[in-house]
Amino acid sequence: MVSERGLEVLRVIVQDYVASREPVGSKTIVDRYGFGVSAATIRNDMAQLEEEELIAAPHTSSGRVPTDKGYRVFVDRLSELRPLSPAQRHAIETFLGSSVDLDDVLSRTVRLLSQLTHQVALLQYPTLSRSTIRHIEVVLLAPTRLLTVLITDGGRVEQRVVDLPGEMDATVLDELRVRLNTVLGGCPLAEAPDRLGGLSGSFRPEVAPLVDPVARSLVEQVLAGRQDRFLLAGTGNLARTEKDFPGSIHPVLDAIEEQVVLLKLFSEMAHDSGDVAVSIGRENAAFGLAEASVLSSGYSSPSGELARLGVLGPTRMDYSNNMAAVRAVARYLSRLLGEG
């Protein structure tokens, strides 16, 4: 069993290795941290850590590096997260506070998180199954073309251009707009496809063929809003940390491209009771990410749906800083969306 001093030795090994990418030796620990014991005693502590598979020798070097298991113990022992600096908190408030709508705030969020952590930032779009339709707008772009705009109660905006089989005049357009908002205003998204199914039948026979493509387009917009989607930012950070993937970086790139893998991983991490869930190295083997770590936290959408955001990077990362950033951004995003 590892002693408390041994666990402190593990902590400084993780911190030094994350900062330098160099294996950490007993002399460095004694010189830098002053444990008040000899280098021989520290070597004994390191031997115990190695026996417990918490650290390992990467080659013939006398230094040691953390293992996945060592990172896990380090993360689990983080009693408190390093607070973000005033400049970082100001950046979050300023950058996200100037967003114009839901799509914009989520796009800004994932970019900001990547900048704060220097990792790949991931953000799961909130599903809209609990959302309701606030308003439908239809705009005539040309006699045979119009724009449909669907706005939810949470501020999500979906719009599409619809080509019509004939010309639509202003009178029919006004009638369509009124009918759509009468039928769909306040309607839960889950019920919208059924309500739209009989829409064209409520119009005059000669107008119904013009209404059909509009109804189909709105159904597609509703269904698109109910699908899981991901936003990513900072994939270039992987190139800068490629040396931290001793096997190959390609499985990580494949997982990012196949977003369904990340959705499954986020779904499993959602069961973690902590406010920031951390999945490290071999814990991600089933997802092809055995050399990567993923940190995530939940945030609340305006309609009450829970979704997740987080970061992905090598196991050699600054867990304390990155966990604090993920938590802070998730909390601010929930507060911002709640105010909207």
Q: Quick check: 46 and 64 in contact, CB under 8 A?
A: yes
290-318 pLDDT per residue, tens: 999 999 999 986 666 678 999 999 999 99
Query: CA of 24: how far to CAs of 15, 89, 305, in Å?
Result: 10, 33, 45
CA–chain centroid gap for 69, Å, is 24
Give the torsion sign (CA, 48, 53, 55, 57). positive
pLDDT per residue of the chain (340 residues) written in tens, 0 to 9? 889 999 999 999 999 999 999 999 998 899 888 788 888 999 999 999 999 999 999 876 678 999 999 999 999 998 777 788 888 888 888 888 888 777 888 899 999 999 999 999 999 887 666 678 899 999 999 999 999 999 888 777 888 999 999 999 999 999 999 999 999 999 888 788 888 988 888 899 999 999 999 999 998 887 765 556 789 999 999 888 888 888 778 888 888 887 888 888 888 887 665 689 999 999 999 888 999 999 999 998 666 667 899 999 999 999 999 999 999 999 999 888 876 5
Sequence letter at residue 192: A
Domains (range + CATH), the chain:
4-76 (1.10.10.10), 86-127+228-339 (3.30.450.40), 133-225 (3.30.390.60)
- DSSP of 243-276, one letter per residue? GG-SS-SHHHHHHHHSHHHHHHHHHHHTT-SSSS
Distance CA 124, CA 291 (A): 22
Which of 15, 44, 42, 17 has the alpha carbon at shortest distance from 27? 42
143-200 pLDDT per residue, tens: 999 999 998 887 778 889 999 999 999 999 999 999 999 999 998 887 888 889 888 8
Q: Quick check: 251 and 289 in contact, CB under 8 A?
A: yes
Q: Quick check: 150 and 133 in contact, CB under 8 A?
A: yes
What is the DSSP secondary structure assignment for residue 281, as one 8-state letter? G
Give this prediction's pTM: 0.74
